[in-house]
Amino acid sequence: MTIPEARCHAFAVGVVQGVGFRYFVMDAAVDVGAVGWVRNLRDGRVELVAEGSRSGLETLLTQVRRGPRGGRVDRVDEAWEKPNGEFHSFGLQRTM
């Protein structure tokens, strides 16, 4: 198992639920070769954890800050963490 270069744990705040945001994030993650997950939170935020190359994750965060048409991202709170290679693909998780 190869450990990815970087890991980002982020929360998107704004109008990010009910606008296809999770699918937008999933498509953007796949485009940059990231693995991990995205889910809605009951407080209205969207949470994501992604591993991959640092440059790929930076590109993913740029897309997350932009968001899909119909949504509005007020801010993205991000934390860079040590990657552990636990993911094999990028997918959706249940709302928490």
Q: Which fold has domain 6-92?
A: Alpha-Beta Plaits (3.30.70)
- The reply to whether 54 belongs to the active site is no
Structural contact between residues 6 and 83, judged by C-beta atoms closer than 8 angstroms? yes
Spatial CB neighbours of 96, under 8 Å, sequence gap ≥ 6:
39, 40, 41, 42, 47
Contact 64, 10 (CB under 8 A): yes
pLDDT in tens, 34-44: 999 999 999 99
Which member of 7, 40, 65, 94 is catalytic? 40
Find the catalytic residue in 22, 65, 72, 94: 22
22 is catalytic: yes
- Strand-pairing partners, residue 36, are 50, 90
Q: Note the pLDDT tens digit of each residue in 10-58.
A: 999 999 999 999 999 999 999 999 999 999 999 999 999 999 999 999 9
Record the pTM. Answer: 0.94
User: How many angstroms separate the Cα of 41 from the Cα of each of 5, 21, 45, 88?
Assistant: 27, 12, 5, 23
Domain ranges of the chain: 6-92
